[in-house]
Chain A
Amino acid sequence: MQNKQLRNWIPFLLLTGLLVGGPTLSGSPALAADPAPQAAQSANIFVGKVTGKSNKAKTISIEVKGKNEFVKFDDKTTGLEHADEGEAAVIQFEMRGDDKFATTIKPKLASLPEGVKEMKAGELAKFVALGPDEGKYVLIDSRPAAAYHEGHIPTAISIPDSVMKETGAAYLPGDAKLKDLQLIFYCGGYT
């Protein structure tokens, strides 16, 4: 996984490097907190959550720093499969007249805070099969509560990200001896 992630990163780092003069080339990918620095935004790149794609209007809408942006696409656009609603994407575009046309779309890989490890679905499934007591874990659903109610990974508890910011401590085991208890967080995908 680590290798694959790195491979996926290389073209993007090179690209950013070419466009904005290489701000993060020397940094480890996992530590690059924001893969699209402000300068890159003005260099025809949108990084954000895809909020819609219409094949009829050949248009993608993407939320970039809280603002909605439209980008058109055509037969030459590569990576259209990464522009699915709800996915985090990096869209490189060019101006044709007044219109923005997507040239390349790549998935945006989430970066993890220092000291936090990734867990894959297969490994999580092993813990879930054991249950929280035997598997010694707390599984936390970070999505809004409504999404949790509708359908969550078995054995998960709900602590929406917004709640975690405010009063998260109240929901986690507070005993100092339990600080090495395994906590596993998830949400709605790579966002």
Chain B
Amino acid sequence: MSPNSAGLAKKMGYTNVHVMLEGVPGWKKAGKSVVASEKLVQTGNIVLLDLRSKAEYEAGHIPKAHNIPMAALAEKEDSLPIKAPIVVYANSFVEAQQGYNLIKKWGAKTGSIWPGGVNSWTATGKKLATGPTPASITWVRELEKGEVGVAEFKKAMEGGGNQVILDVRTKDEVQTGAFKNSISIPLDQIEKRLGELPKGKEMLIHCSTGARAEMAKNALDKAGMKSRILRADVECEQGKCEIKD
């Protein structure tokens, strides 16, 4: 992508054009942080963390922010929804970076810093909120394109509708339990066995996390078959399966 754009710039007459091939992954590997855009902080489905002291937070914070003072952050691992994009801010970039690094260590895949904290927020005329922090942090993931929600998936188990569940786990995994109204085709056989799927139905694909389901969806897409995936943990034991969102 970026080499293409650089080539275009070169054609436009720019003479001093570089590409950082390592991109964002390389930047992060070098121990550097990425920053959030104003739009994300304003309207994104994120968890915004204010790492300043309680007094500073209550006197004025960015709307929707939760307060966990930096000194207390280390004990708060369990109260953070680690799957959420977490954006942090503090009084300084360095302090925000410390918080960000800690959260990243806990396994957060998406996270960034709002540089400049409350000052860069009010600098463009936006207002701060005041008062105590909400009692708990809640975050609900929004379904991405091509995903099916847990409620709709459960309904499809009852059958009768226009949807069929496609289980792409291995044979061994299926032995521990499977959903009603489901067809089992392990991922590594999916391409050869597409003909076994009922025609004209929407396939709701699941595995044990969503990763293999996504790969299977690629094969169904390629064959022009309608499908969505369940991106949730599926755990089966003694014939019973549970979905953990």
Residues of A at under 8 Å CB distance from B?
A: 51-52, 54, 56-59, 61, 63, 67-68, 70, 72, 98-99, 110-122, 124-125, 140, 142-143, 147-154, 158-159, 161, 164-165, 168-169, 172, 176, 179-191
Residues of B within 8 A of A191 (CB): 1
Q: What A residues does B130 contact at CB under 8 A?
A: none
Interface of A is mostly: mixed
Q: What residues on A are CB-neighbors of B140 within 8 Å? A: none
Partner of A142, one of B1, B170, B191: B1
Interface residues on chain B, size class? 35 or more
A72 touches B188 (CB 8 A): yes
Interface residue ranges of B210-226 to A (CB < 8 Å) = 211-212, 214-215, 218-219, 221-222
Q: How far is the CB of A119 from chain B (nearest CB, A)?
A: 4
Within the complex, the shortest CB–CB distance from A53 to chain B, in Å, comes to 8
User: A57 touches which one: B34, B187, B222 (CB < 8 A)?
Assistant: B187
Alpha-carbon distance A150/B86, docked complex (angstroms): 10
Cβ of B7 within 8 Å of any chain A Cβ, yes or no, is: yes
| Residues on B with beta carbons closer than 8 Å to the beta carbon of A57 | 168, 170, 186-188, 212, 215
Minimum CB distance partner of B223 in chain A = A68
Residues of B with Cβ closer than 8 Å to A?
1-10, 12-27, 29-30, 32-37, 39-40, 44, 85, 110-112, 115, 168-170, 173, 186-188, 190-192, 207-208, 211-212, 214-215, 218-219, 221-222
Contacts of A110 in B (CB 8 A): 3, 19, 21
Query: B27 and A172: CB pair below 8 A?
Result: no
Chain B contact surface mostly: mixed
CA of A180 to CA of B211, assembled, Å: 45
User: What are 15 A-B interface contacts by the 8 Å CB criterion?
Assistant: A56-B208, A57-B215, A70-B190, A116-B7, A116-B18, A120-B26, A124-B27, A143-B1, A150-B44, A150-B85, A152-B37, A165-B8, A179-B15, A183-B14, A185-B9
**Are B170 and A56 neighbours in the complex by a CB distance under 8 Å?**
yes
A-B contact count (CB 8 A): 214
**Cβ B39 vs Cβ A149 within 8 A:** yes
Given A119-B20, A180-B15, A188-B24: A151 touches B5 (CB 8 Å cut-off): no
How distant is the Cα of A112 from the Cα of B13 in the complex, in angstroms?
17
Q: Provided the pairs A51-B215, A52-B218, A54-B211 are in contact, do residues A121 and B30 lie with their beta carbons within 8 angstroms?
A: yes
Which 8 interchain pairs have the tightest Cβ spacing?
A: A113-B7, A151-B34, A151-B112, A68-B218, A52-B215, A57-B187, A187-B2, A185-B2
Smallest distance from the beta carbon of A89 to chain B beta carbons, Å?
14
CB distance from A136 to the nearest CB of B (A): 9
Q: Is the CB of B192 within 8 A of A98?
A: yes
Least Cβ–Cβ distance between A143 and chain B, in angstroms: 7
Whether A121 touches B170, Cβ cut-off 8 Å, given contacts A59-B187, A113-B3, is no
- Bound-state CA distance A16–B85 (Å) is 42
Bound-complex Cα distance A83 to B229 (A): 22
Q: Known pairs A116-B17, A120-B22, A153-B32; list 10 more (Cβ under 8 Å).
A: A51-B214, A56-B170, A68-B218, A70-B215, A112-B3, A149-B39, A179-B13, A186-B21, A189-B25, A189-B26
